[in-house]
Structures are given as C-alpha cells and as structure tokens.
C-alpha cells in the first residue's frame, strides 16, 4: 500500500511567460507597418524576432513564439490584453489569451 499521496506527483509545475504590454504594442506597430505596405514579410519577421528576443529570456518560449508567430500576431492585433505562453510538465507549449 502506498502511504505517500505525492509519490507520483511531478516535481515541476507548468510555467508561463506573460508578454508585456510594451512588447504587444511594438509587435502591433510592426503589423501595422506591414499592413500599410511599408515593410515586407521578411522585415516583419526580422522585427518580430528582435522584439521577442528582448522580451522573452526563456529559449523554449522564444523558439515556440517564433515558430508560431502566425498564431501570435492575430492575438496581438485583435486587442487581447493578456497573452501568455504556457508550458506544462510534458513539455507541451501553447498561447493563452484573454482580456483581463
């Protein structure tokens, strides 16, 4: 009989990184320039990479954000005020968004 209720509980909790409002404003500005035709898709990608590299210190979160930039940018431009990058104990990573 197992008497320790935590015997199979993972030691690591899932963690997250919340993208700052300043970062979201910078990203939104880049998208606006792209939409106006002031920059091309390569420059948009480069600028987003630079902005996110300053914002996100965790290499896994940064890599996920850059690989899924097409999913991130619509949240930035739609007015979602809270965007987080989550990673669970299994290594699964996703964006969580909201207006809180």
Q: What is the pLDDT of residues 8-41, one digit of tens each?
A: 544 444 578 899 999 999 999 999 999 999 999 9
Cα–Cα distance for residue pair 10/18, rounded to 1 Å:
23
Domain range enclosing 22: 15-98
Asked if the model's pLDDT at residue 3 lies above 70, the reply is no
In a domain, 71, yes or no: yes
State the average pLDDT for the chain.
85
- Residue 88 within any structural domain of the chain: yes
83: three-class secondary structure by DSSP: strand
Q: Could you give the number of structural domains in the chain?
A: 1
Residue 10, pLDDT score: 46
Does residue 41 lie within any of the structural domains? yes
Helices and strands counted in the chain (H then E): 4, 3
pTM summary value:
0.77
Residue 2 in domain: no
Distances, alpha carbon 94 to alpha carbons 5, 14, 18, 71, in Å: 29, 11, 12, 10
- Cβ atoms of 75 and 95 within 8 Å: the answer is yes
Residue 59 lies in a domain: yes
Q: Which residues contact 4 (CB under 8 A, 6 or more apart)?
A: none
């Amino acid at each position: 009989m197992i008497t320790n209720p935590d015997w199979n509980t993972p030691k690591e909790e899932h963690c997250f990184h919340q993208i700052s409002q300043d970062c979201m404003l910078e990203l939104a500005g880049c998208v606006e320039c792209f939409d106006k035709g002031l920059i091309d898709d390569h420059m948009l990608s480069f600028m987003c990479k630079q902005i996110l590299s300053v914002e996100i210190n965790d290499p896994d979160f940064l890599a996920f954000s850059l690989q899924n930039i097409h999913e991130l940018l619509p949240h930035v431009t739609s007015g979602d005020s809270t965007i987080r990058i989550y990673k669970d104990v299994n290594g699964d990573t996703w964006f969580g968004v909201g207006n809180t």
